Structure formats: C-alpha cells, structure tokens
Amino acid sequence: MKIIDARVIVTSPGRNFVTLKLITESGTYGIGDATLNGREMAVAAYLEEHVVPALIGRDASRIEDTWQYLYRGAYWRRGPVTMSAIGAVDMALWDIKAKAAGMPLYQLLGGKSRERVMTYAHCTGKDIDNCLEEVARHVELGYRAVRVQAGVPGIKTIYGVAKREGERYEPADSELPAEHVWSTKKYLNHVPQLFAAVRERFGHELHLLHDVHHRLTPIEAARLGKAVEPYHLFWLEDCVPAENQESLRLIREHTTTPLAIGEVFNSIHDCREMIQNQWIDYIRTPLTHGGGITQLRRIADLASLYHVRTGFHGPTDLSPVCLGAAIHFDTWVPNFGIQEHMPHDPLTDSVFPHDYRFEDGHFLVGETPGHGVDIDEEAAARYPFKRASLPVNRLEDGTLWHW
C-alpha cells in the first residue's frame, strides 16, 4: 500500500492548525495533527521540505519502520518541531492501517480497556466567586473533574483566565508575544484560598486539578503542594519547568499532592527519569508533540511499570485530529488517568468532522474505521493562517520568567 500523495494543510478556523493528509494508491487516506502553537509554520515547512518528499513511494503499512526512519534519519533527533512532524505522520499511518483493517483505531491497539474516558474541563474566573460560578456551570454540564484557575489580586493577566468575561481563553492572542507580569508571592498566597472555597461549596466528590504552568521553583512548588493537601487535588500540573527532571524529587519528598507533568515533552527520554523514580503520578505528553502513537505507547508502557498514569494534554491548540486519536488511545491504554477537554470552537469542529462524543463528563469513542476524524479541505481553505504568538512573562522587576 504505497503512499502516492501528501498534503500539508494550514488553516485557521478560529485558531491555527497544521494537518497532514497522506494518500495511498488504493485511495485510502490518513490524517495527522502537526499543530505546534505559535510555531506552526516551522512544522509545516519541516513536513513539506524534508518529510513529504521521503514519504512518497513508501509502504504505508510500515509504521514502525517509518517512525525509526524519520527519527534516526534526521540525525539530530527530538525537538518539538521534528517530533510534531513525526507525530503527524505516525497518526496518519495508524489511521490508514485501521481504515484498511476496517476497524476503529482502539481495536487495532488492543481493544477496549474501558467503556468511557473521563475528561476534565477548564473552570476559570477573574476572581474566586467568578470561578465558583464556572465550576457550578461545568458540574451542571456533567463534568466529574475540573481544572480550577482564578485571577490573583495584584496580577493583571493570569494564565488560563480569559481577557473578557464570557470569552474563550486563548493564550496566543497577539501577533508578537504579549508581555505579562508575574508575582510568585501573590500567587502562592492566593491559590489555597481558591481551593478552600471550591471544596466548601462543592464538597469532596468532584475531582479538582490545577495548572501552575511552570512558574515555581522546586521549593515553592513543595510549599504549594503541602498547602493544598487538605483539598485533595487530582493533580497539580507543571509546578516547575522540567528540563531538570531531578527537580521533581524535592517536591515529591515534601508533599502527597499528586503531580502531573509533560505537556512540553516530546521524547521518552524527557520523562524517563521522573517516571522511573516515581516522582510523578501522571504523564501529559500528547500524541502530536510526542511523536504519535508509536512513541506514546512506549511511554505509557514504561509509566505502567511505575504506577504512573496518562493524562493527555488536550487544549484547543491541539486539533480535533489529535483529540480523536487520543480518545482511541485512552480507550485502550491500561494505565489511563484522565483526558483534558477544552472544547473547540464550532468553526474548528466544522472543518474537522469527527465521531467522538462527550456525554456525562466522559468521551465516548466512535466506531468509524480509523481514528474517526477527517478534514474538510474546501472549508479549511476559507481560513488562511494568521500569525499568533504565546505570551512571555516578566517578574515585577522586569526579569524574564517562565510563561
């Protein structure tokens, strides 16, 4: 089953997405997501200039060999641009294989390990009261797990909180990076109050999550983990930047709050040490940025040996293609934890028809052969790329910090 054509489709229905479509001689095609928020055109060029020419004529059924060919063949290995490109190829090849077998992807992976996939929503408010209303709204929608983020008094712009009430949150909201100001002291004093308020109003049944978005030092993260212990979080996410995996050790030694990390990782080597040392509880690396199903299966299997579960990154900057493939993976993977759900704009959904469904706080996998997500190329062509950058953060004295 030879690959005879490949198209890199860049479209912006509500936000930017890069999609790879691989077409085989039998007419069966596969779709992969290659979106890297704020750096989309780097992946599009990598695919167009370096990957697509090498794919034409290759046997689409040789998924493992193609993964190794693209990974080892680049010589340089790893990195978010390379791995997102490989992720897209891999996702498209699994889509083709499952379509050729006449099976939904989860069947090819090994079949169902569960009937439905628990998902968490984002509840954000400009202040605690506002955030409580958002939690109430999401509980009403059926969610059993919510990520809670609120504005912090004295900090003007905060991660996760939309600029204006009722608006969707989109961090890549300006052509060049917007500058935000960060205060660790104000943040650390405020977060425990937020969780106290949520538990007081909603009790202890609801799963609560929180994303620190890489902003603390290990000892500050340890302090936050301890401070929120009475509120029994499902996880505390990205509490430190994790280039230095060992920083997780110190946090782990101080707190029983479960830790999740890995949305910016792209290789099994980025997370190996923290998994093997059991410094974390959930691994977040998504299919797109993590080199697709082929590498994520290895990461999940490694994690399963150390009681670490999956918690795939799933913001709107990963397309419905990534989400659809992730739901198949989640349905199969034995050590599943939770799936992030930040609903896409209806315009995005109209360009990417899909068969997954949300019901009662869970995703239900579809039965269409493949991963169940397509792209309407005619519709995609109506929304040209718009450059958008993620913000940068500075401390109050002007020092550049982690965003």
Ligand X SMILES: O=C(O)C(=O)C[C@H](O)[C@H](O)CO
Among 95, 263, 330, 374, contact with ligand X (rule: CB under 6 A): 263
Candidates 298, 297, 212; CA nearest to 251 is 212
Give the separation between CA 145 and CA 62, rounded to whole angstroms: 39
Q: Is 134 in the site for ligand X (CB under 6 A)?
A: no
Provide the minimum distance between the beta carbon of 171 and ligand X in the complex, in angstroms, as a whole number.
Answer: 5
Q: By rule CB under 5 A, what string of x and - marks binding of each residue 206-235 to Mg ion?
A: -----x------------------------
Give the active site residue among 122, 138, 207, 213: 213
Q: 245 vs 285, which CB is nearer to Mg ion? A: 285
Q: Using an 8 Å Cβ cutoff, are 149 and 210 in contact? A: yes
Please say if 180 is a catalytic residue. Answer: no
Of residues 53-112, which lie at the interface with ligand X (CB under 6 A)?
A: none
Provide the minimum distance between the beta carbon of 115 and ligand X in the complex, in angstroms, as a whole number.
Answer: 25
Q: 134 vs 211, which CB is nearer to Mg ion? A: 211
42 binds, among ligand X, Mg ion, none (CB under 5 to 8 A by kind): none
Give the separation between CA 63 and CA 369, rounded to whole angstroms: 17
Provide the minimum distance between the beta carbon of 290 and ligand X in the complex, in angstroms, as a whole number.
Answer: 13
Give the separation between CA 301 and CA 198, rounded to whole angstroms: 35
Give the separation between CA 87 and CA 359, rounded to whole angstroms: 28
CB atoms within 10 A of CB 108: 18
- DSSP label at 345? P
Give the separation between CA 48 and CA 251, rounded to whole angstroms: 42
Candidates 244, 243, 289, 295; CA nearest to 67 is 295
Q: 211 vs 220, which CB is nearer to ligand X? A: 211
Q: Is 177 in the site for ligand X (CB under 6 A)?
A: no
- DSSP label at 58? S
Per-residue DSSP letters for 191-247? Answer: HHHHHHHHHHHH-SSSEEEEE-TT-S-HHHHHHHHHHTGGG--SEEE--S--SSTTH
Q: 29 vs 182, which CB is nearer to Mg ion? A: 182
Give the active site residue among 106, 143, 159, 231: 159
Give the separation between CA 155 and CA 184, rounded to whole angstroms: 10
Binding range to ligand X, per CB under 6 A, among 14-22, 67-75, 269-277, 313-321: 313-321
Give the separation between CA 137 and CA 70, rounded to whole angstroms: 45
- DSSP label at 373? B
Among 171, 292, 311, 369, contact with ligand X (rule: CB under 6 A): 171
Please say if 75 is a catalytic residue. Answer: no
Among 33, 134, 211, 330, contact with ligand X (rule: CB under 6 A): 211
Q: Is 37 in the site for ligand X (CB under 6 A)?
A: yes
Tokens 């308020």, residue located = 197
Task: Tell me the residue nearest to ligand X as measured from the CB.
Answer: 37
Name the amino acid, one letter, at 369: P
Provide the minimum distance between the beta carbon of 369 and ligand X in the complex, in angstroms, as a whole number.
Answer: 30
Q: Using an 8 Å Cβ cutoff, are 177 and 164 in contact? A: no
Provide the minimum distance between the beta carbon of 97 and ligand X in the complex, in angstroms, as a whole number.
Answer: 28
362 binds, among Mg ion, ligand X, none (CB under 5 to 8 A by kind): none
Q: What are the catalytic residues?
A: 159, 213
Which residues lie near Mg ion (CB under 5 A)? 211, 263
Which residues lie near ligand X (CB under 6 A)? 37, 171, 211, 213, 263, 313, 315, 317, 340, 390
